[in-house]
Amino acid sequence: MTATDGHAHSAPATARARARAELTREITDAARRQLAEVGSDGLSLRAVARELGMASSAVYRYFASRDELLTALIVEAYDAVGDAAEKAARATSGRPAHRFVAVATAIRAWAVEHPHDYALIYGSPVPGYSAPTETVNPAARVALAALNIFTDGVADGEVATTASGPVPRSVKGAFGRLRAEAGDALSDELLTRVLLAWTAMFGTISFELFGHLHGIVEDYDTFFEHQMRRVARFAVTGDAP
Amino acid sequence: MTATDGHAHSAPATARARARAELTREITDAARRQLAEVGSDGLSLRAVARELGMASSAVYRYFASRDELLTALIVEAYDAVGDAAEKAARATSGRPAHRFVAVATAIRAWAVEHPHDYALIYGSPVPGYSAPTETVNPAARVALAALNIFTDGVADGEVATTASGPVPRSVKGAFGRLRAEAGDALSDELLTRVLLAWTAMFGTISFELFGHLHGIVEDYDTFFEHQMRRVARFAVTGDAP
DNA sequence: TGTACATCAGTGAACGCGCGTTCACTGATGTAC
DNA sequence: TGTACATCAGTGAACGCGCGTTCACTGATGTAC
């Protein structure tokens, strides 16, 4: 989504530009490796420079500050989950519940493979760091991938939009922006169901990765799939599984 | 739960012992205040000492290391949510769904009031810090408070224990330890339902506190209560709300 | 009640460390004519 | 194709800072007789 990445395969540009793009990559890669070792607060420009065998001051040719490097990592992490979710959504067809489970499974697979990137974006906010606006769009991708499954499902008549109970007025009114992004197809009732599935999904993943299911669940794969099936069927039909 | 707190109101002991207990309190209080400002990784013994107007080395008379101070904060945080949950469970009677919503509301209220303590225990794990065993029991309290609602409900015949669908064998087998703590009353089916409610609850709270519902939900109170009602009814009956 | 000794709380200096960021610099790469 | 100048990448030293932890010490509080 970045201007640089967008057409990286086209114009080789100058040797200098190519070298710059490569080194920028190497820096964020090294930073991500360090993130895995010491967490987001331990992330240090100097350590990154050391790993790359360059002077710490040289990193400043690529990132104006530590925070800017952090932002790059956050954007990349959001893009990575977003990619995984979109890919899973594209790769499946048919019943919305089935597609939702596929997207959830892809998101969890990414999280399990990249626990520190997951913690960076879905764990505690980094104190003293406030996410700049450039993280907003990448962050939305993963949610839109899931939401589109339901708009598709509504179009096909496979998703129930009617309410099985009253939705509080103040909850109803709060979805304007979300619906603007996802189209008009989604009723308030459906949105609350989707959000329930969504929070249950991230709650399950966070509990697993952050150790709160330790000693309670043994087979995380099976457990997750089971729970996502229930929650997906509920989101789609409004019925309990 | 600590040996010191357990009977703090009894024997005044010596003046020295009382002073020690007081200062220990002041240190953890100052540390929690600092936690709120700079997060768990920024928490520094020296800053705590500075705030208390004492030499940094003096803190070592009370906590052997920074990690030990962190552990104290974690234990206190777990005890605080545990207290809130137990109090809410005791204060309500009647329908299990109603009691569960009360407990959930109490947990969220604590979290909203103490977002940094919440992040400390339910957010990203502190890198390089592994929770010692003394945190295990305090951590379990809040879960047991919720679980007991369901064991009570089963005893009263108000909670459905029958399966509405098959529970995978590997999920079934994994609950041994949990059931040992909560009694035999809970079927595997019921446990998966309770866990779904549990992860949905923490998922919703984390999403709210960590900013992932920003611009999506406006009235967090109403939204949370609505979702918890759905999820509680589902946990109790196996039916969708 | 008084004395002698042991225990504990708190001090202040020091250890070695790593951090983010700046700055003047050298040398290489790119560009305009 | 060649030259003159501008741009950029990378260096190494330095700035000021805060951290966790240790240590020998002083003085106050507690305890045994």
Q: What is residue B129's predicted lDDT score, i.e. its pLDDT?
A: 82
Cα-Cα end-to-end distance for chain A: 38
Q: What DSSP string describes chain A?
A: --HHHHTTTS----HHHHHHHHHHHHHHHHHHHHHHHHHHHH--HHHHHHHHTS-GGGGGGT-SSHHHHHHHHHHHHHHHHHHHHHHHHHH--S-HHHHHHHHHHHHHHHHHH-HHHHHHHHSSPPTT----GGGHHHHHHHHHHHHHHHHHHHHTT-S--S-SSPPPHHHHGGGHHHHHHH-TT--HHHHHHHHHHHHHHHHHHHHHHTTTTTTT-S-HHHHHHHHHHHHHHHHHHSS--
pLDDT band with cut points at 50, 70 and 90 for residue B4:
very low
Buried b (16+ CB within 10 A) or exposed e, A9-40: eeeeeeeeeeeeeebbeebbebbbebbeeebb
Predicted structure pTM score: 0.93
Task: For residue range A205-218, list pLDDT tens digits in order.
Answer: 999 999 999 988 88
Q: What is residue B162's predicted lDDT score, i.e. its pLDDT?
A: 78
pLDDT band with cut points at 50, 70 and 90 for residue A7:
very low
pLDDT at residue A42 greater than cutoff 80: yes
Residues A168-174 have a mean pLDDT of 68
The mean predicted confidence, pLDDT, of chain B is: 88
Task: For residue range A134-150, list pLDDT tens digits in order.
Answer: 999 999 999 999 999 99
Q: How far apart are CA B175 and CA B155, in angstroms?
A: 20
Q: What is residue B62's predicted lDDT score, i.e. its pLDDT?
A: 98
Residues B198-205 have a mean pLDDT of 98
Q: What is residue B168's predicted lDDT score, i.e. its pLDDT?
A: 77
What is the distance in angstroms measured between the alpha-carbon CA of B82 and the sugar C1' of C31?
69
Judged by average pLDDT, the poorest of A159-163, A220-224, B75-79, B170-174 is B170-174
pLDDT at residue B157 greater than cutoff 60: yes
Closest Cα partner for A204 from B206, B222, B226, B137? B206
Residues A146-157 have a mean pLDDT of 92
- Which of strand C's nucleotides are less than 7 A from any protein C-beta? 8-14, 18-24, 29-31
Q: What is residue A10's predicted lDDT score, i.e. its pLDDT?
A: 42
Which chain A residue has the Cα nearest residue B220? A171
* Cβ neighbours of B128 in A, within 8 Å: 38-39, 42
For residues B203 and B168, is the Cβ–Cβ distance under 8 A? no
> CB-based burial of residue B91 (10 Å sphere; 0-12 exposed, 13-18 middle, 19+ buried)?
exposed
Residues (59-78, chain B) with CB within 7 Å of strand D atoms = 60, 65-67
